[in-house]
Chains A and B, each alone.
Chain A
Amino acid sequence: MASGSLISRAKFLGLMAAGGVLGYGGVLVGQRSIEGWRENTVEVPTPKFDPTAYRLTIDGLCEQPFTLTYDDLRGLPAVTQVSDFHCVEGWTVPDVKWQGVRLQQIIDRAKPSKDARYITFHSMGGIYRDSLALQQAQLPDALLAYDMDDARLPQDRGAPLRVVMPRMFGYKGAKWLRRIEFRDDQDIGYWEDRGWRVDAWIKA
């Protein structure tokens, strides 16, 4: 090399610039990813939600089955809760601000029959299902969320509506909810069928 350098100056400059770009990109990706969401879905493509056509069906073993439009949902008394999200894979998103409707409120309106001891949550894609015992769904932190961090729930986070059970692993939180079904038996959910526990309580 003319300069006596092991690699030419232009190349070194190029390398440093490339390194800088990569480093900067790395920081940007890093900030979002180290304590961020990692989308898990088994419904491909991600279910699309049309606010005018959307209906949430509440049925099964209950006295008053009913449906809600998206506007109906947002018109119900809303609650806000801040909770950490723990994925069964090991990652955590701290302090997620959820807004939505208490499951208790839906249960009260549907008036489940005596035989109803479990609830199955159905996803719009028709593939993902999960279930809770009725008593679990009546816990004071069991939520149907339509907003996250002061914004509409993003498509890949489960728009228009998802289950939030802060003290259970995230796979209990069915996304893209279209149907809430009261049953006398506990439905084995998608991941439970593949080995995860039906009661996904977190070791705190």
Chain B
Amino acid sequence: MARAAEFVRRFEVPTRLAHWALAVPFLLLLLTGLTNYLPRLKALAIGGFRVFAWAHVLLGFAMVVIAVLVVLSLLRSRSMRGDAEVLAAFGDDDVRWLEHEAMALAGQRTATPRVGKFNAGQKINAAISALATIGLLGTGVILGINTFSKSVFTVGITGMTFSWHTLLALATIPVVLGHVYLAALNPATRESLRGITRGFVRRDWAMRHHPDWTTHASEHELPPEHR
């Protein structure tokens, strides 16, 4: 029987919803986009419509709407705004955390730096993901319009846009793989997955990975089955 003190609340519903509302179409867009390198899959068509190409275009436009809704909900949700503000704040402690990890790599043991709700790696992941998403949606809208009409943009513009869209998409692959590995597979860090699915994490794990945040998180709610 778990004791109440074993869990801390990590993410409220708006943050979790926003994460998955962006993550699921992002992954589907990445996978459908990669069929550009798999000619046989790319050629798969139903009634003359290429399945992956059209799924990519329609999902892309849907994601523009989703991204706008997420930005708007940032204005409405205090908890989500709080998460965003902490993610965007990169300070001396974050530099120290990166140094600490780099020193550990070089075999040097240094004092564990202060870590709040997010470490520097998580902040960098969030920044790269956000910037890449904005860039991909911006270039994607141009290419999406080009799908329906060839008379809006010149081939000079679409060619350049296609190159940037490709470059950004390929650049996100190692970031996404690293994010999924650390969140779902790596034994030391995978407890964090529960934070973004069910909203809470084990307190002892949080104490080790996000000590400054955890000590201030005593008032957080408990998971339903422990209430």
Binding site for B on A (CB under 8 A): 1, 3-9, 11-13, 15-16, 19, 22-23, 26, 29-30, 33-35, 38-42, 44, 84, 86, 88-92, 94, 156, 169, 193-195, 197, 202-204
* B128 interface hit (Cβ, 8 Å): no
Contact between A34 and B188, CB atoms less than 8 A apart = no
**Roughly how many angstroms separate A95 CA and B203 CA in the complex, as a whole number?**
60
Within 8 A of A (CB), among B147-172: 147, 150-151, 153-156, 158-159, 161-163, 166-167, 170-171
**Roughly how many angstroms separate A13 CA and B107 CA in the complex, as a whole number?**
10
Interface residues of B, CB < 8 Å — how many? 49
Chain A CB within 10 Å, residue with most, of B162, B167, B177, B186: B162
> A44 and B111 in contact (CB under 8 A), knowing A6-B101, A12-B105, A194-B48?
no
Contact between A88 and B150, CB atoms less than 8 A apart = yes
Shortest C-beta distance, A84 to chain B (Å), equals 8
Contact between A5 and B158, CB atoms less than 8 A apart = no
* Cross-interface CB contact of B173 among A3, A5, A8, A26, cutoff 8 Å: A26
**Stretch with Cβ within 8 A of A (4 or more), from B32-40, B70-78, B214-222:** B32-40
Interface of B is mostly: helix
* B143 interface hit (Cβ, 8 Å): yes
Contact between A6 and B188, CB atoms less than 8 A apart = yes
Contact between A204 and B154, CB atoms less than 8 A apart = yes
Contact between B104 and A5, CB atoms less than 8 A apart = yes
Binding site for A on B (CB under 8 A): 36-37, 39-40, 42-43, 45, 48-49, 53, 100-101, 104-105, 107, 109-112, 115, 119, 143, 146-147, 150-151, 153-156, 158-159, 161-163, 166-167, 170-171, 173-174, 177-178, 181, 186, 188-189, 208-209
Contact between A90 and B37, CB atoms less than 8 A apart = no
Residues of B within 8 A of A38 (CB): 36-37, 42
**Roughly how many angstroms separate A184 CA and B61 CA in the complex, as a whole number?**
43
Residues of A within 8 A of B156 (CB): 92, 204
* Cross-interface CB contact of A91 among B150, B153, B159, B174, cutoff 8 Å: B159
Contact between B100 and A34, CB atoms less than 8 A apart = no
Contact between A90 and B143, CB atoms less than 8 A apart = yes
Contact between A30 and B170, CB atoms less than 8 A apart = yes
Contact between A42 and B178, CB atoms less than 8 A apart = no
* Cross-interface CB contact of A22 among B143, B150, B167, B174, cutoff 8 Å: B174
Residues of A within 8 A of B171 (CB): 26, 30
Contact between B39 and A33, CB atoms less than 8 A apart = no
Shortest C-beta distance, A160 to chain B (Å), equals 19
Contact between A6 and B48, CB atoms less than 8 A apart = no
Shortest C-beta distance, B122 to chain A (Å), equals 11
Chain B CB within 10 Å, residue with most, of A1, A88, A90: A90
Residues of B within 8 A of A7 (CB): 101, 186, 188-189
Contact sample, A vs B, 11 pairs, CB 8 Å cutoff: A5-B104, A6-B115, A12-B105, A19-B174, A22-B173, A34-B163, A89-B162, A90-B143, A90-B159, A204-B154, A204-B156
Shortest C-beta distance, B208 to chain A (Å), equals 7
- The closest CB in chain A to the CB of B38 belongs to A39
Residues of A within 8 A of B178 (CB): 15, 19
Contact between B170 and A26, CB atoms less than 8 A apart = yes
**Roughly how many angstroms separate A34 CA and B139 CA in the complex, as a whole number?**
14
**Roughly how many angstroms separate A204 CA and B115 CA in the complex, as a whole number?**
54
* Cross-interface CB contact of B112 among A5, A29, A39, A204, cutoff 8 Å: A5
**Roughly how many angstroms separate A7 CA and B188 CA in the complex, as a whole number?**
6
Residues of A within 8 A of B208 (CB): 1, 6
